[in-house]
Structure 1
Amino acid sequence: MMAKPSPIPTGSTMPSVRPARLIAGLAMLASLLAPLPASADAARDMAKAAYDLPFLLDTVAGGPTVDQAGRARTAADFADDLVVVGLVTTHCPSLCVMRALDLAAVAKALPDGVRAHLRLVAISVDPADRPADLAGFADGLHLDAARWTLLATDAGQAARIRDAIGRQVHRAGDDGAEPSTNLFLFDRRGRLMQSFGGRALDRARLARDLVALDAFDAAASSPHP
């Protein structure tokens, strides 16, 4: 039985972690969690997915992907941000909603300085989801438009993302399959630093990792004497 998560930190005190060791370990763990490729091309694609935010955001046939407001979006829009990426469909009956509410709760509980650098991205893997559908999904859950970006995909991009990140893993009766519940945490340079799997999100762990990664990125970007 999974241990009950500890409460999400709500103050500004930094946890007692060693960010450099944590980040190195998380990057290695993420590579180990990736599914085995079926071909050399798939292996290259998954390497990009693991360490490159543009792989997820910048490859739609005929132009850049668009968000819930119909605006063109690329990875450059998230420069210098901590980014948590997950998959969604607007007809997802339960898990997508649960993940979105979990992430909203984590963001709300973060220290102000960390929350200011956090962006939450939900990529639809149903090509039938259009910007208006994504906007309705976000509005129905009262997601903060300043923090949340929901992205539409075409059929090719949706298939590529499912292959690289995780195929649909849960079937929910007549409502169809729900997308993978995996979440991916990228640092301010667009590199994957951690992945979170399982149906129940460990909010406390995600919050601690965000605080530690923010501190690590801040230290790495500071001028050295």
Structure 2
Amino acid sequence: MRGVLSRGSLATRLLRRVLPVLGAGLLAAGATSSAPGGRDDALRPETALSDLLWSGDPVAAPRIDQSGRVLAPSSLRDRVVVLSFVSTDCLITCVARTLALADLTRDLPPDVRARTVVLAASVAPDRDDVAALRRFAEGLRIDAGKLRLVTGTAAATAGVIAALRYPADRLPEPPPTVLVFDRRGQIAMTYGGDPLDVPRLRRDIAVLHSLEDGVGHPPRPAASAAP
């Protein structure tokens, strides 16, 4: 498991640590995602998050969740995003990880919970359509308000597998990787292995929530009280 880095001098070390995991192209895209100032720009296609989920084109390759709602890039703007991978017939370790993520936001403070999105992207596009994801969610009693299980195209899945360097012959068992993106859509940390360390992940989400301008930028100073 890899921890969050929250200061400018550490950001370069962060990139070096996750580079072998995601590949130079994906991280280079994420590193240039913010406009000058980095505060008011929308989540753009060249962010690491958007590039991984949609290969830069959410219109051509939409992600749809178990309730039939389209996952829009705008819904992830200025949010801490936790992204895992799933298939509806995955093994027990994958099911346990998915259930843990469905419960992830339970003990977060309300303001942090409101800015946290938890996703599980299917890596079995040939059979994990909306109906299959709905049945899977209902069987595990997963609320779409807590964890959105999203479909994917064959091209998007191939991109994910390539980016994570996951052996394609292990599919449809999904990669045991959980990625966390900061509020600017940049990769902040990775988790690997089971069981998932949920308490630590909750603490790290709270740290990322405090970094309004993303990893590598200090928290903004608190607003001064009016006289």
**TM-score category (smaller protein):** 0.7 to 0.9
Distance 1:208 1:102, change over 3 A: same
The equivalent position to 1:105 in structure 2, one of 97, 103, 106, is: 103
1:59-208 alignment to 2 at 5 Å?
59=57, 62-128=60-126, 129-168=128-167, 177-208=172-203
Shift of 1:90: 0.6
Write the deviation string for residues 173-212 of structure 1: whole angstroms up to 9, x where unpaired.
xxx7511110011112211111111122112221110111
* RMSD of Structure 2 on Structure 1 (CA): 3.2
The aligned counterpart of 1:40 is none
Is 1:34 aligned with 2:21? yes
- Indicate the percent of aligned positions where both proteins have the same amino acid: 33
Alpha-carbon distance in 2 for matches of 1:93, 1:49: 32
Alpha-carbon distance in 2 for matches of 1:154, 1:18: 32
Deviates more, 1:138-147 or 1:157-166: 138-147
The equivalent position to 1:20 in structure 2, one of 7, 20, 25, is: 7
Question: What residue identity is the alignment partner of 1:118?
Answer: T
The aligned counterpart of 1:8 is none
Deviates more, 1:51-60 or 1:101-110: 51-60
Distance 1:44 1:25, change over 3 A: closer
Alpha-carbon distance in 2 for matches of 1:83, 1:102: 15
Residues 66 and 130, structure 2, Cα contact 8 Å, conserved in 1: yes
Alpha-carbon distance in 2 for matches of 1:167, 1:28: 19
Shift of 1:101: 1.6
Q: TM-score, normalised by structure 1?
A: 0.74
Residues 170 and 178, structure 1, Cα contact 8 Å, conserved in 2: no
Distance 1:131 1:63, change over 3 A: same
The aligned counterpart of 2:38 is none
Alpha-carbon distance in 1 for matches of 2:106, 2:188: 21
Is 1:217 aligned with 2:212? yes
Write the deviation string for residues 52-98 of structure 1: whole angstroms up to 9, x where unpaired.
11112334684422222333323222112111001110110212211
The aligned counterpart of 1:54 is 50
Shift of 1:18: 8.5
Question: What residue identity is the alignment partner of 1:191?
Answer: Q
In the alignment, structure 1 segments of 5+ residues that lack a partner are: 3-16, 38-42
The aligned counterpart of 2:41 is none
The aligned counterpart of 1:10 is none
Which structure features the higher share of helix residues?
A: 1
Alpha-carbon distance in 2 for matches of 1:70, 1:184: 24
Distance 1:192 1:158, change over 3 A: same
Q: TM-score, normalised by structure 2?
A: 0.73
Distance 1:181 1:194, change over 3 A: same
Residues 49 and 164, structure 1, Cα contact 8 Å, conserved in 2: no
Question: What residue identity is the alignment partner of 1:100?
Answer: T
Count of residue pairs brought into register by the alignment: 200
Alpha-carbon distance in 2 for matches of 1:18, 1:117: 19
